[in-house]
Chain A
């Protein structure tokens, strides 16, 4: 089998059973791999309405045919499960090296079920798979854990992905950390914490074959050439996006009360990279090298060293909380990595708490004495520690995520709880970029900036086209959603979306599929595959009780009610009337019933899903 390892590995933590199944032809022909294959497996193995914290909930670590090859941007893998934040199927993407290593170990997918009676980790050493005790690692940070496991297994070349104290403590937006990279979003780390699974460690000695290695290497070189000319990613990663988005006037600031940050220059990569960057890092086989390791050399936070902070973190732990102190920001990012917390959700929850505090909805009693004003970088660092350990009233409250926290506190605070479908809002303005009003609302993950990835297309546009025009957005979102389906199944990095995309499934994806697997798909079949994957994901959502209601109620009220108040994007508004038109049009394109939001039976039939009952 070209491209694939050819096996699925299943581990049950309760019984200790390890099962290896051959990777079926129908699965890969119909769903490619990665997200597609995971959706199919979860559809078949998850009972409807599965509780995220339950033995039945499956956590998959998925790869696609591109992993373990020299396809640029193939250094990615996915954790897929039912998220405790959104209560829907959720894919959390991670870079680094572990996805390739799973392929070399001989597996395309790892599916974990059950619950261990004691802290454990799974050690995958090629054919030899063991569940080992993790009692001595329990409680340790993500860096300590990785070091301890590699020491115990006696080989530094093991790739480890683990949870930190936040995952162990079931913080709803805890992150899985692998190397210095994160499977940040969705709280899948807390599912592992609930299952008492501290880590997975992988080492492999097998090979991945491709039909024409010379053609694949030629493709690599073609893309490598383009990467060398990229104006921002190789030198700055995404850090300069902060300055640009601020210049456009759509940078989430002080919990999205406004979208221009007066201190943006302090935390923009342009200012910070020359001073703080120590190293460029890349994921497996990637010619871009967008990762930036940064360090604080002096002052109160001297010694804080992390991969990043990159754009989303600069937004969430910077402009969103009003913090212009870059040292404090780096330290906050480092703490999130060590404890295993999603920086985006963490920032959004803290920003919400700050707004509550400034409005008197949360008092100093409830913040355990902390002055939780916007701009207080020291407080951000302190709150992160409390969240990771659910310390005090505040730590306990915020660990639940902004949706639940705002429901508990109430008093109008739900108005400015900035999430879509339970997932805290990423750093791309749903007001300033009209495509995002729609993209976040119909995504299966909600507040993720990856589901309907419009920015490659929308950011270069004029203000009128980007922020005011709405008629063309349903078509654009429809196309980019399906591109993401393919890219998350092959799996290729979204930062190559500009080269492989940027809008819809196309010949580049067909080329990658052929170079890795030898499959000869037509563009029509590729589109149908993309639609099949998105439709099946939608079926899982529907089976779990979600439909139109979840989509139309997704945008935070601040987004629907307040236009951007100032700056270059002043007046941009996610108008409810436009939003309704966009959703209806998108439903038509998707083949979803306008009233219920369910995929229509003729669509299910067309995509070979007629046996699916929803």
Chain B
């Protein structure tokens, strides 16, 4: 399962970023959201759409393959790709490997962070979106 985005519906409000960070980081803090929206004017003018970055929970995840510490792994039950913070050294090779721009380094902690589907039934991002642009679905 993963968070899927319908870019035809996204209005770039970033409510998902606010709801995600509130849940996963304890306060409103867009920079620590696990789902990010590219709201840049260049993007809008070029594509006439927003871009949304959130982990695809890939089958053969490039981030997992890139990690020298084995700090990234796929949960065998849910298929969710997770970060083992004890092993992560914040080297950012995963950031470069990810084709979806969906993993980042928390500079203060020195650890990678990404969407780990904090709520498999009602993820806060899916729940908050005013245009139903997000859903939780299967596949890659």
> Taking beta carbons and an 8 Å cutoff, which residues of A are in contact with B?
68-70, 75, 96-97, 100-101, 104, 143, 146-147, 150, 156-157, 179-180, 204-210, 213, 217, 220-221, 224, 227-228, 278-289, 291, 293, 295, 305, 307
Contact = CB atoms under 8 A, between A and B. Distances in A.
Given A69-B28, A70-B19, A70-B28, A143 B42 contact: yes
A372 B80 CA distance: 64
Interface of B: 11-15, 18-19, 21-22, 25-32, 36, 38-42, 44-45, 48-50, 107-108, 128, 130-131
Contacts of B130: 224, 227-228, 282, 286-289
A220 B30 CA distance: 17
B11 A281 contact: yes
B21 to A, nearest CB: 7
B128 to A, nearest CB: 7
A7 to B, nearest CB: 16
A282 B41 contact: no
Contacts of B44: 179-180, 279, 281, 293, 307
Contacts of B11: 279-282, 289, 291
Contact of A283 (B13, B22, B30, B36): B13
Given A97-B14, A285-B18, A289-B13, A179 B26 contact: no
A284 B41 CA distance: 14
A97 B39 contact: yes
B13 A286 contact: yes
Contact of B128 (A69, A206, A220): A220
Contacts of A157: 31, 36
Nearest to A225: B130
Contacts of B48: 278-279, 293, 295, 305
A69 B18 contact: yes
A285 B14 contact: yes
A96 B44 CA distance: 13
A249 to B, nearest CB: 34
A57 B93 CA distance: 48
Contacts of A291: 11
7 contacts: A70-B128, A213-B27, A217-B22, A227-B130, A286-B13, A289-B11, A289-B13
Contacts of A280: 11, 131
B129 to A, nearest CB: 9
A104 B27 contact: no
B96 to A, nearest CB: 15
Contacts of B29: 104, 205-208
B12 to A, nearest CB: 5
A283 B30 CA distance: 14
B90 to A, nearest CB: 15
A147 B39 CA distance: 13
Contacts of B131: 280, 289
A612 B55 CA distance: 57
Contacts of B107: 205
Contacts of B31: 104, 157, 204-205
A212 B128 CA distance: 17
Contacts of A101: 30
A207 B25 contact: yes
Nearest to B106: A205
Given A70-B19, A217-B19, A279-B49, A287 B13 contact: yes
A70 B45 CA distance: 26
B14 A143 contact: no
Given A209-B28, A217-B19, A279-B50, 19 more contacts: A68-B28, A69-B28, A70-B18, A70-B19, A70-B28, A70-B128, A146-B40, A147-B41, A179-B39, A180-B45, A207-B29, A208-B28, A210-B27, A220-B128, A224-B130, A279-B44, A285-B13, A285-B18, A286-B130
